[in-house]
Structures are given as structure tokens and as C-alpha cells.
Amino acid sequence: MTRLSQFWPAIQRVADANGVARLGASDLTDSHSELFDAWLDRGHHATMHYLSKNRATRSDPASRFPWAKSVVVILVPYTPTRPDAAEGALTNHIARYAFGDDYHDVLDRILREIEAVFAGAGVKTWRYVDTGPLSDRAYGAQSGLGWIGRNGMLINQELGSYFFIGTLLTSLENDIAPHAVADRCGTCTRCLEACPTDAILPDRTLDSNLCISYATIEHRGPLPATLPLAGNAFGCDICQEVCPWNHDPAPAHPSFAPRDEYRATPISDLLRYEQEDFSTLFRKSAIKRAKLAGMQRNVAALFDSAAGTEGE
């Protein structure tokens, strides 16, 4: 029987060479699947209906991939701090994870490098970078790479939570024992207290209907009139900014360094952009997920909010 440990040293070398900060492995059991099902049943996924289409696969990846026996998990840090920029610059109003290149592409390239380790060995694999019905945070926790914090984020004691997660299903038996990781949130409730919309739920999940990140990225159509954006036009980092485990985060992967043009572009410029302008500025960027119409809606809402505040 071929086991994951036979390839682990080679996988570790590839990971180290490609800026992976932490590497782990898990079997296919998803200990968070019941919590996820309950989250769906309560409608906390809002309009993200695609999340409810593949419940069986998420609970048991082997139902789609009968050969799958293990999951390799990688953590790749992104930029933890905002760069200096003039007031109103784009970088002041977008989540840190979107400062650089699209994480889907970067982590997919790394996972492909790991797949190459198995070349000729008859190992089957399937890559996921936030692209399918797989709970990457659950597998990260089960791999001993951190714990699920009160804000629903995977938190690593040394890295904090400013990192991306990539997963690779394999046909190898998992015999990589995870390190025991304690839940270190303790009695801290800073993230709950800081969230301006009370989106963080007691069971360490989020109500997407109240989440600024969901509203500015995934939601289509007009924004809820009562939802405060708190200065955000794409995503939200508030619950991470107040987390004490992000006091000394890891250096970012070079691909996620803040783009100079984002520091130089006033966010108000997006209101006059045509599609070509948008596609050029956000080439190979995760911000394209919101689309031009979504970003213009968000920016307009920011200015409407600012005007309302000044008039009070």
C-alpha cells in the first residue's frame, strides 16, 4: 500500500521552494460537515446557492472521487499590512488578500508543482484553491495547521490568519500525523465586538447576509441600504485586524506584494471606468470577481455613505 509519507520529503522541498509557510495532511473525514449543513439550512449562505448543490461531495469527497484517500494542505501568506498611500487610494479600501496577484492562479501553480512529485507513481490527484466543494479550513485544522477562530478563520499561532489555503486530494493513504493544536481564542471576543454588522455567529460561522465581504464581492444587485461598508469597497479585514494572533504575521509570498498602481489610483476613478480600464487595472487579480458593475456599485455606496455622514 502506497502511503503519503513516502513522498513527504519531496513534497516538503517543493513547498519550501515555492513560498509555502506550512504544510500538512489529513484523511478525508470532514469534522465540520454537520456544522456546514446546519449553516446552509439556516440560510446563512445568502444567495451563494452553489454552496448547497454539492453537500454530499463536501461531506465525503470520495463520493465524487472514489480513489481519494487523503488531502495535502498548504498555507501561503499574503500581505498583512496596508502600504502607505494617499487618502482615497484603492489600497485603502480593498481587502489585503487582493493587493497582488490572483491567489487562485498562484496556489494552483504551487499545487501543480507538488503533483509533479508523483509523476510516474500512478498517484491520482485533484487540486482545489477555493474552487470546489471542499472545506479547506476544516482540513487545515485537521492537518494541525491551526484552529478555527471565533471569526471562522483558520488561525495559526505563528502565522496568524493572513494566508491562503490550497488543498490537493490524493489517492495515497495518509500516515502523516498532525501536530496537536489547541484552541487559543480563549475568552477573547475582539472580532465579534469589532464587526460593524454583527455578522459573526456564536458557532464560529458567519451570516453572509450581514457580511461586508459577501456584500461587496459575491452579492449581485443593489446593496442593502442598512449595511455599513465601513470604508470597504472589496472584502473586509476588520475581524482579522483586531485579532491578537495577527500581531506578528509571516512575510508575504512575492506574488501578493501590493501593486504600485493600486496605491496610485484613487478609488473614485473606478466610477468613470469602462470595461477595458477595469480589465487592465485588475489583470490577474481576484478583484475581477466583483466585476466592474459591482465595484462601481460599492464605490458609489462609499461616497453616498460619506456624504450622509458629513450631512449629519
* Catalytic site includes residue 102: no
Cell representation of residue 102 = 490572483
User: pLDDT tens across 205-242, in order?
Assistant: 999 999 999 999 999 999 998 999 999 999 999 999 99
Decide: 165 and 154 in contact? Cβ < 8 Å. yes
- pLDDT range class, residue 307, cuts 50, 70, 90: low
Q: How many CB atoms lie within 10 A of CB 91?
A: 23
Counting Cα atoms < 13 Å in the Cβ hemisphere of 81 gives: 8
User: pLDDT tens across 63-113, in order?
Assistant: 999 999 999 999 999 999 999 999 999 999 999 999 999 999 999 999 999
The active-site residue out of 37, 60, 130, 175 is 130
User: Residue range 265-283: average pLDDT?
Assistant: 98
- With a CB cutoff of 8 Å and minimum separation 6, the contacts of 259 are 99, 100, 285
Long-range contacts of 281-290 (CB under 8 A, 24+ apart): 284/101, 284/102, 284/105, 285/98, 285/100, 285/101, 285/102, 285/259, 286/97, 286/98, 286/102, 286/103, 286/104, 287/94, 287/98, 287/234, 288/102, 289/217, 289/218, 290/216, 290/217, 290/234
DSSP letter for 288, please: G
DSSP letter for 195, please: -
* Domains by residue range for the chain, with CATH: 4-84+97-170 (3.40.109), 190-310 (no CATH)
pLDDT at 305: 74
Query: Read out DSSP for 231-272?
Result: T-SB---HHHHT-GGGSSPPPPPGGGSPPHHHHHSBGGGGGG
